A = this chain, B = another copy of it.
Amino acid sequence: MDKKVVGLLGGGQLGRMFVEAANRLNIQVNILDAAKSPAKQISSHEGHFEGSFKDPEAIEKLSKTCDVVTVEIEHVDTQILEKISSRVAVEPSWKTIRMIQDKYAQKEHLQEYNVATAQSIPLAGATNEDLQKVGEQIGFPFMLKSRTEAYDGRGNFPVKSSTDFDAALKALGSRPLYAEKWANFKAELAVMVVKTKDGVLAYPTVETIHEDSICKLVYAPARNVSKKVLEQAQELAKKAVACFWGKGVFGVEMFLLDDDSLLINEIAPRPHNSGHYTIEACPVSQYDAHLRSILDIPIQQHELRIREPSIMLNILGASTPDSAVQIAERSIAAGVGASIHLYGKGDARPGRKMGHMTLTAPSMREAEKAMQPLLDITDEIRGKKSAPASASSAASGAGQAQNAMVGVIMGSFSDMPVLQAGIAILKKLNIPFETHITSAHRTPDWMGEYVHGAMPRGIQVIIAAAGGAAHLPGMAASHTAIPVIGVPVKPTIGDGTDSVLSILNMPRGVPVATVGTNNSTNAALLAARIIGLKEASIQKALVEYADNSTAEVMERERAMNEQGWDAVYEQWHGAKK
């Protein structure tokens, strides 16, 4: 392992973080790039080459010193890569890099392999008539894109109507072009895929937030997206990468449409901005994974798991040369435990990627809260309008939190008055929940389907209310391995013993946590105690809740001592009326 030498075309930040991973395994990386480039700063040996990573002659020289050649970025000369590949391994394959360089060819290739991607059509020429034809074919608006050398939004032009033609052609007319059908997406997702000699593995699905077409934030895992969609995104990304050649990591960017379907946006055949979070959040980072895959060092799917939810924020340059360092210094001072990466690029320029920071927390909500001051600092220094790190309120349409932790279910809507008090507690403690009617008797299939899907979607606890022959809590418990709390609802006939006993006396093997009749307050507090074991902030809120209860009672005790029991009784009795 430590006898292998890797040749790297490009020594920017991606190369630097790759070298960091290689350093830890004592694997030598010979870098072709300018002297003192970011990657070279952290690698001291005699094997580097000075020059442009696009220079065929230099690439040829480099290739003679190493066992495998890889690229930091896909904008390289694939002719020379094809040539040297007869003598040295090139990973990923020059064929992959060549095809991905041409975004239209990339899309065509994916469509050949039945990988969902936006409809794309090549432009015959660069005239208003050509654009008009495109608009008639795929509709307005559409996205006009340069086939090559496009990244961070450069090379894209949204064409809303024919009035945009002149501006679009002025911006991009000199380049080879294609057009993409407009994708009305509700979120942008991304998955890092690892292609090894044995197959493809995927990191978790993340959510990317762009600003001015540059990646700004990455949330890992993606928020407000069901487990099912997270998994579908991983599968789509794996399917997409599997139809390319060679080994290495690939960044796959996707659109999530309103109907929860997914389209590939584009693929990068290398470590990617959307995968920086893996350095802190995962046992094996995207850079470790790239190194391992191109050198045939083993790697396993479960080594790509997330330790804790995490958020990555890019440090982009602002108007002053020291703006990136300012962002870093003030972010450290915020004291929220962000890991700072500065790339050694010297002076900042507006929009230049100067570094990034990642923070992880026991829950995404805590990560969002911790990220807020860092976002405020960067927005302030970069002169941007301040944005919220949290998107939960915007996404929880119609009262259903898409990132719900508690599922509140009832056999009939008539149980809702009983559940109100519990729901108020969940809201007060800021625990995201969803409410559903899932009758064990009248909708047995839907009930089973809902409960069965709850755990995979991230639901932690189910609160089930039912009265009479109250089967819902027990039936729910039999469809899942997460805790189910049963709330007996007092029926109109009888004292509710029927409700209690049909929830309480479950057979051995299928437990239901039963609370008192109509006592949804305690059901919610019990759910909070359970979730509080994982989320420190909720446990803390519970302790405060108990302290407040104690204080309330002690206040009345104090009043009774000071004013006498009869005076307090009169106040109390008056308030009751």
Residues in A lying within 8 Å of B, measured CB to CB: 1-2, 20, 23-26, 36, 40-45, 280, 283-284, 288, 292, 297-300, 302-303, 305, 307-308, 325, 328-329, 332-333, 335-344, 359-360, 421, 460, 478, 481-483, 485, 500, 504-506, 508-517, 519, 521-523, 525-526, 529-534, 539, 542-543, 545-546, 549
Contact = CB atoms under 8 A, between A and B. Distances in A.
A533 to B, nearest CB: 5
Contact of A482 (B44, B303, B342, B533): B533
Nearest to A44: B44
B506 A339 contact: no
Contacts of A546: 478, 481, 509
A505 B516 contact: yes
Contact of A342 (B2, B336, B517): B2
Given A42-B44, A283-B338, A359-B283, A517 B529 contact: no
A337 B284 contact: yes
Q: So how many copies of this chain end up in the complex?
A: 2
A332 B291 CA distance: 12
A552 to B, nearest CB: 10
A262 B26 CA distance: 40
Given A308-B307, A522-B508, A341 B24 contact: yes
Contacts of A288: 339
A531 B461 CA distance: 12
Given A280-B283, A307-B308, A511-B515, 20 more contacts: A20-B23, A25-B328, A26-B342, A283-B359, A300-B336, A300-B337, A421-B508, A481-B542, A483-B513, A483-B529, A483-B530, A483-B533, A504-B504, A505-B516, A506-B519, A509-B545, A510-B522, A513-B526, A530-B533, A534-B534
B307 A481 contact: no
A359 B504 CA distance: 42
B303 A526 contact: no
Contacts of A505: 516-517, 519
Nearest to A343: B26
Contacts of A421: 508
Contacts of A302: 335, 337
A1 B328 contact: yes
6 smallest A-B Cβ distances: which pairs? A513-B513, A283-B337, A511-B522, A300-B335, A511-B526, A44-B44
21 contacts: A23-B42, A24-B340, A25-B328, A26-B343, A36-B44, A40-B44, A41-B44, A42-B42, A283-B339, A305-B337, A308-B308, A421-B508, A460-B533, A481-B539, A483-B533, A500-B504, A511-B515, A511-B526, A512-B526, A513-B515, A514-B514
